Structure 1
């Protein structure tokens, strides 16, 4: 496992902050059928900043690339059970704090919303891969969970040494789907198999697989000091596939998902995403060059990175509810937006700094007890063996 790459914490926070501005500064008033719009309930609008906020959703595509890198790094030479433990301890503590906060927002602010709050809450607390969830942002966690399952199976099969081929399989499947969807989507609509793949493209990893594959190739490049021409071909194909997915997302927004007097072009989100990816490649190739010298600065950057996950989970519905309350009380709309951004960031800090560690500690203790029982079952010994490692040769 490589050393901590500190600049990735800043990229994470940029991605989460971009998504927050998208939801609170644009999507909450420009969309009609979303959880954040249901909560905001036309309380306020921000058309003046729409040209800058409408493409903040690109932060999710940045997250997926980071996830490909981080998961490859954490899974290398790990046992399946150790990998699963690391993912459970990372994902669930923040969810178990933020989902109840979101539920409270629905009950206190918009309790008349026609929603199945019990079902949505339970699906969110368990990170069930099929929605609806208590907050629309949980869709991306479903995608992450399926990607983790993909890596877990690779480890169980002792196949992590073939990670390059796994990345290529993920990439080819995803790039093929995106190409077909972009160029022939209307012609294929109506075919039962295509409709099934299209409607489940998120959890089948065929829509977002290019981003995870790109992150894996990024990790391979950082481990091996570079890539062969085949590896760089994978990077190029993954980047091209990512641009097709971004263009598809813009097309969906233009097809009636949002109603705002703003020009929607694939160019701004594509440029932001490409710059973020380029910077990540630079950061991971030489992490020592970007490591802060002072321990205090290192700790601060790690804290910023830790805040991004709870910020992503809590900002949308709870933030929109706070904006609705303040706007209804006659507070200036710009103060409403600024105060909500600051308060949601503060909540994320509190969750990461105080709530998550205590919950994670209790969860780790419970997991360790369950793991001790599993060790007694000989047929499950495969879960405790290393799942392979990537050899140190060119990809």
Structure 2
């Protein structure tokens, strides 16, 4: 059997990431009427009902993201964190936008070509900031992730430690809990009350993984699990429509959230470290491009072939095709372009550091411009060294003495 973790990569976390992505795909392909032209309960009498809860894959993604981003910022400088996130997010995202645009322009069956102005606006990933429409509806989650990254920037700025992460979790919990009642749009926008419990719980679980569990962390996770229940009815209504959501029980959604917390908790405690399937590592890196590509492109294929191929075969075939497309985007676009972006941005950051903090001569005075330009750049300390982007759930080395 393959090694447990290749380069300290958690295979179980990759498996959960794949499961979350497939939940969202299942929801879009089986629960929604859009690609089929009518209600799918007659097409998938059994699968339809289960697929109606597949939107919860997004919540699972946010829970995983809290764990993974807390892991990835440990020991990194602010510049390194920015470089790693930008080079990770944008290559596959740009490819997704261009491919989706080509498909909906060529075959406007489930969506119409939005216009080049909207395509260009979407390339920034900031379109949700001014309420501009997304090229693909699934992109709304990326703006939520960007706001989470901005929150984590504060931790990186002050230093990523157990204490600072715990302070963030406490302050963010209070802000998210009070924001709806305070009716302050800016606070609500950044506190993200609907999704904060998942990010915060993910951070707490990683602190357990790194520093051992304790009563404070368990209490924090339990509180987030309770707070996550507040918006289930609302999420069901926005995902399925009020009429459909009113006819569905909410307990399956609550059960899925509890199961997700339990699985990430098991990963945090090391209970799933025995999972050694190497293919999960590959599956883990495909989930992001799969998420970006699957909706409008996959729905267009389903709509186009719905009367020619049996529905279950069509859904399975399109899902496999989207996985293949995700692998191609990862290998042909994400890896080489991501590497180029990391190298380019890193060089730019090094240039800024060299000019902002010039070397001093023996007298303690700043060196001349000529001397500074000619002087060799000192090697960065080991903790600030920039290496090629590791897989997103790679564990850093543990500290010798955990902070109590």
1:241 corresponds in structure 2 to 227
Please show how residues 25-174 of structure 1 align to structure 2 within 5 Å. Answer: 25-27=30-32, 29=33, 37=34, 40=35, 42=37, 45=40, 46-48=43-45, 49-110=47-108, 116-128=114-126, 129-130=128-129, 131-158=132-159, 160=161, 161-174=163-176
Aligned length: 356
- Residue 216 of structure 2 is matched in structure 1 by 230
Q: Is the 8 A contact 1:175 1:210 kept in 2?
A: no
Match of 1:313 in 2: 292
Quick check: 238-247 or 313-322, which moved more?
238-247
Question: CA separation in 2, counterparts of 1:58 and 1:203?
Answer: 21
1:18, 1:112 → 2: CA distance? 21
TM-score by length of 2: 0.79
In angstroms, what is the RMSD of aligned CA positions?
Answer: 3.0
1:247 shift after superposition: 3.1
Of residues 307, 329, 334, the one that matches 2:312 is 334
For the structure 1 residues 265 and 252, does the alpha-carbon distance in structure 2 shift closer, same or farther, using more than 3 Å as the test?
farther
Deviation, structure 1 residue 156: 2.1
Q: 1:284 to 1:4 in 2, by over 3 A?
A: farther
Give distance in 2, aligned partners of 1:18 and 1:167: 28
Q: Note the C-alpha offset of 1:380.
A: 12
**Residue 364 of structure 2 aligns with which residue?**
none
Shift of 1:202: 5.4
How far has the Cα of 1:154 moved from its partner?
2.5
> Where do residues 165-314 of structure 1 align in structure 2 (5 Å cutoff)?
165-177=167-179, 194=183, 196=185, 201=188, 203-227=190-214, 229-253=215-239, 256=242, 263-286=247-270, 289-292=273-276, 297-298=277-278, 300-314=279-293
Contact 1:211 / 1:238 at 8 angstroms: preserved in 2?
yes
Cα gap change, 1:263/1:380 in structure 2, threshold over 3 Å: closer, same or farther? Answer: farther
Q: For 1:341-389, what per-residue CA distance to the aligned partner results, in whole angstroms no more than 9, with x for missing partners?
A: 12112211222233311111222222123223221342799xx9979x9
What displacement does 1:327 show? 2.1
Give the TM-score, by structure 1 length: 0.81
Could you tell me which runs of 5 or more consecutive residues in structure 1 were left unpaired when the two chains were aligned: 30-36, 181-192
Q: Which has the higher helix share?
A: 1
C-alpha spacing 1:111/1:362, structure 2 compared with 1 (3 Å): farther
Higher Rg of the two aligned structures: 2
Q: Which stretch of the first structure deviates more once superposed, 102-111 or 54-63?
A: 102-111
Report SS of the residue matched to 1:290: coil
Which residue of 331, 334, 348 corresponds with 1:370? Answer: 348
- Where structure 2 has 5 or more consecutive residues not aligned to the other structure, the ranges are 1-6, 360-379, 385-397
